[in-house]
Amino acid sequence: MPVALAVLLALAAPFSADDGEDVRILVARGDGTLELRGRGLERDGETARAVHPDRLSLSCRSGSLHGDGLPSALRGATFRADGKLELLGRSLRGEIELRCAKDRWTAINVLPIEEYLAAVLGGEMSPSFPRAALEAQAVAARTYAIERKMEARTQGRAWHLDSTALSQVYRGAGWEDPRTQEAARATRGEILAVGYFPVEAYFHASCGGRTETGAEALGREQPYLRSVSCPCGGHSPWSHWSVRVTPDELSRLARRLLGGSEVSGLSVVARSSTGRAKTLLVETSSGPRRIGASELRALLGYARLPSLWFDVRAERSAFVFEGRGAGHGAGLCQWGARAMALAGSGYREILAHYYPGTSIVRIY
């Protein structure tokens, strides 16, 4: 076995022939009381003693976990059930680990990665997409999870990923589908690697026709995150979009970046090599200022301004952003993967296109 692969397996352990990796997903943080449900609830191997045997009301006070039948001075606990758990409206497989810090709790879902992936696929890609696209997404998502797990271990973080789009969208078992489960099974244990180490397998909804480089999109130069052509084109619902923002709203947003200035004009003055906006010139009451396009997108909201591939013009009552694509543009384009799959490409061909120079390695 190559040394690099042995190191990868050691860092990624434990895994078993049946379940694969376990992953730890940060699903919620908060304070006050939360309710945990599940048939035959157990805490750390003990039957939960509660007024209602399948429901626990839990809270954190002064760093200790409080609830029906819990011992005092318990800083945290792990809960499981006969079947799925329910927490804050989510149906979750595996276990829930609750940790207390003062009066705040942290909920971590611990489950086998293949079960996690089936739900991630349902949150990140429509199950109606062709099987090859779902399989490509499964390998990318598994790679991303393994890479983040290794990072979390080196940093001493209690969880590997969160459940939002900042990591991978994970809404729980309710988002599984027979097609997403099959895509996970068909690619079980497979990751993308360079030199037997997992790559940063970023992905996004739609690139608009050409992916972005890792350096431009993420600030990290990676040889496998290069710009490639993409057939998503008119297949994507984001092939063209238009967003209107009033001068008053833009002024309110810009004040957070520029101070107390009124905005009277806005234009793109620098672009990436693929044509995406990098720098904007803002005409204000206190003079012209430059801001990063990504900063403005973050203020407007990633859903409202879907990508940085846009032009902007001023109209009498609004600034009009017209663009294409959705997401940062680096790595796998989900709608491009769909188009390639419909044209007959398999998942390996799709992955080779969006992550050039990588290999598919089975780690369990």
Kindly report, residue by residue over 236-252, the tens digit of the pLDDT: 999 999 999 998 898 88
Segments making up each domain of the chain, as ranges = 33-102, 114-235+330-362, 241-323
Q: Higher model confidence: residue 286 or residue 282?
A: 282
Q: Distance (Å, rounded) from C-alpha 42 to C-alpha 54? A: 9
Q: What is the pLDDT of residues 331-350, one digit of tens each?
A: 999 999 999 999 999 999 99
Q: Identify the band that residue 3 occupies on the pLDDT scale cut at 50, 70 and 90.
A: very low
Q: For residues 202 and 196, what is the distance between their CA atoms, to the nearest angstrom?
A: 18
DSSP bridge partners of 319: 245, 314
Cβ atoms of 339 and 231 closer than 8 Å: yes
Helix (H, G, I), strand (E, B) or coil at 78: strand
Calculate mean pLDDT across residues 139-153: 95
